[in-house]
A and B are shown apart, each in its own frame.
Chain A
Amino acid sequence: MKNLAIQLDGVGKKYRYFTLDNIQLQLPPGQIMGLIGPNGAGKSTTIRILMGLIHQDQGEVRVLGHRMPAEQVAAKWDIGFASEDMRLYDVMTLDWHMRFIRSIYPQWDPAYAQLLLKRFGLMAEQKIKGLSHGQRVKATLLLVLARRPRLLVLDEPTTGLDPVARHEILRELTAVMNDEGRSILFSSHNTQDVEQISDQITFIDRGRIIDSMDKEAYLDRWRRLRLEAPTGIELPALPGVISIRQTGRLAVATSNEFGPGIARAYENSGARVQTIENMTLEEIFVAKVELSREEHQEVGA
C-alpha cells in the first residue's frame, strides 16, 4: 500500500537491558492509531524511532513517505510531536511559545490558536511555570494542533489529566479527522481513550508487537462467556479460549478468537452458557498481558 502515513518494517533497536524486536507497523492516512502496552514495553522508543530522534539498528522507517532518520528534517515540517516527558521553557509565556512556533511554521492558524486558547481555558500571557500540569499539557498540545500538521505523533497526550481536560483534548483530536489526509498516532495508558477514538490498535509488550489491527475487528474477536457447569461436568479446553476460571459451579471463559462454535461446544459438553459479553479494551489488555506473563514464566522455568 502506497502513501502510508507511517511504515515501520522489521525495525529493531538493542539496548543494554531492553530490545525492540521486529517492529512491523502501518498506518494508512486519515486514520488514528492507538499504541498500548505496559510500562517499559517500548512505546516511547518506537515513537522516537519513527520521529527520527533515535536511529534504529535494523529495519526501515518511512513517515509521510520520508525515510527516517535520514530525511527527518523534511518529515518534521509536517509532523506535530508531543511527549509526556517534554517541557516548555518555564520562564517564558505561552504567548512567547506561540510566536516562536508561528515564526517557524507557515501553516500556523492564528484563528484556530485563539479558539483553542478559549476552549482549553488558557491565558497566553501566563508563564509556563505558573501553569498546572493539565494546563501545561494542553498548552503543549495547542502548539502542536494550531499548526494543523499532517501527522500528529503523541506520546501519552492525556496522561494525568482530569476528565474535563481529557474530553477537551479528545474533542480536538477527533476533529482532526475532518480532514481525510491527516493522521494521528498516539500512545496511551488510558485504554478507554484508545478504545474510543482509534481506528487501528497496536499492542506492544516487551519490545514486540503482539497485535496490530483494525480496532472493531480486534474487539470483535474477544468475548467473555459466563458458564454454569453442573458438578461432574468437565469443561473442555477449546482452541480460541485462552483462560477458564472456575469457582464451584460457575465458570468464566475468556476467548480471543470467538466464534459461534465455542458456545455450541460448551453447550454440548453439558454446561449452560449464561451470558456472552463483549470485553472492554482494558479487560483485553489485562488478559493479554497476564497470559503473556504466564507463558513467559513457563518457558523460563
Chain B
Amino acid sequence: MTRSLVRTLILADWERHRWPVIFCIASGVLALGLIQVGGELPFIFGATWFFTGLIVLACILPGSNVINERKKQTLPFLMSLPISITQFTAAKIVSTVGLFIIPWLTLVIAAVLYIAGHEKFPNGSIPVVIALASLVLVGFCLIAGVALVSESEGMMVAAMVVSNSSYGFGWYLLVRNAVIRADMKNPEIVWNTEILTVLGFEFAVIVLILGLTFYLQSRKRDFV
C-alpha cells in the first residue's frame, strides 16, 4: 500500500509542475526553430535560449518542489499521510530529479536529431552539445541535492550561484581544448578521449551528488 503512496506523491509532484516542464521543452524547441531561421545572430540567440530554458528550470524546480514544502507550509499536510520520513524523502528525490530529466532528455534528443538532420551543422558538434547540456544537469543535481539535504533556501541559492557561474567557465574550458575544437567541425561524430573524459567526469559527479543526497536523506530521523 505504501509503494503506491510513494508513486501517488511522485505523480502529484509532477502534476503540480506540469507547466514549468512544458514551458521548458517548448522554449527549447522554439530555440531550435530560431536557429533554423538561419544567420549568425539567430544562431547565437537560439543557442543561448536553448540552454537558458534548462538552466532556469534547474533553478525553479528544487525551489518549487522541495524548499516550498517547508516555506509554503504544506509539509505537515504531507507528513500526516501514512508515510515515513524515508519514503517521503525518496519520493521527493525521485520526483525532483525526474521532473528535470524528462525535459532535459527530450531537449538533448531533439538537439541531436536536429544536428544530425541538418547538413549545415557538423555531427562532430553532437558530443560537445551533449557535454554542455550535461553540465547543466550536473548543476541541477547540485542545486537539488543541496535543497533536499539542507532544506535551506539560503544554501540552495548558494548552490545556484555556484552552478550558474560554473556553466560559462566550464564551456570555456571545453572549447579551449584543441582536440575537442577540431573534432567539433568534423561532419562525423568523433568520440575522442578528451570528450569522453569530460562526459565520464560529469557522469561521475552526478552519481556522487545523487548518491550523497540519498545517503544523507536516509539518515534523517524526524520530519520536523
Contact = CB atoms under 8 A, between A and B. Distances in A.
A and B touching (Cβ–Cβ under 8 A): yes
A109 interface: no
A87 B83 contact: no
Given A86-B76, A104-B8, A55 B83 contact: no
A92 B76 contact: no
B73 A85 contact: yes
Interface stretch (A71-79, A178-186, A205-213, A220-228): A71-79
A184 B83 CA distance: 21
B77 interface: yes
Given A53-B222, A55-B222, A92-B16, A86 B77 contact: yes
Contacts, number: 59
Nearest to B221: A55
Interface string B74-108: 10110111111001000000000000000000000
B118 interface: no
B72 interface: yes
A72 B84 contact: yes
Contact of A89 (B16, B80, B81): B16
B8 A48 contact: no
B109 to A, nearest CB: 30
A104 B74 contact: no
Interface residues of B, number: 22
B155 interface: no
A87 B74 contact: yes
Interface centre among B12, B77, B87 (most CB of A within 10 A): B77
B74 to A, nearest CB: 5
A90 B77 CA distance: 12
A229 interface: no
B72 A90 contact: yes
Given A53-B224, A73-B2, A100-B8, A83 B81 contact: no
Contacts of B72: 87, 89-90
A81 interface: yes
Interface residues of A, number: 28
B201 interface: no
B95 to A, nearest CB: 14
B80 A88 contact: no
Given A53-B224, A104-B5, A76 B74 contact: no
B222 A85 contact: no
A55 B220 CA distance: 11
Nearest to B76: A86
B223 interface: yes
Contacts of B12: 100
B82 A76 contact: yes
B25 to A, nearest CB: 20
A51 interface: yes
Given A85-B73, A86-B73, A73 B79 contact: no
Contacts of A89: 16, 72, 74
Contact of B80 (A51, A91, A96): A51
Interface string A118-129: 000000000000
A36 B35 CA distance: 67
B73 A87 contact: yes
B77 A88 contact: yes
B74 A81 contact: no
Interface centre among A53, A77, A79 (most CB of B within 10 A): A53
B79 A103 contact: no
Contact of A88 (B5, B74, B224): B74
B76 A85 contact: yes
Contacts of B16: 89, 91-92
Interface string B30-56: 000000000000000000000000000
Interface centre among A77, A89, A103 (most CB of B within 10 A): A89
Given A89-B74, A92-B16, A53 B8 contact: no
Given A86-B73, A87-B74, A92-B16, A104 B81 contact: yes
A140 B16 CA distance: 18
| Top 7 A-B residue pairs of the complex, sorted by shortest distance between their CB atoms | A81-B80, A86-B76, A76-B82, A87-B73, A53-B223, A77-B82, A73-B82
Interface of B: 2, 5, 8, 12, 15-16, 72-74, 76-77, 79-84, 87, 221-224
19 contacts: A51-B79, A53-B222, A53-B223, A54-B222, A54-B223, A54-B224, A72-B84, A73-B2, A73-B83, A76-B80, A81-B76, A81-B80, A82-B80, A85-B76, A86-B73, A89-B72, A96-B15, A100-B12, A104-B82
Given A82-B80, A92-B16, 12 more contacts: A53-B79, A54-B223, A55-B222, A72-B84, A73-B82, A76-B82, A76-B83, A86-B74, A86-B76, A87-B72, A89-B72, A89-B74
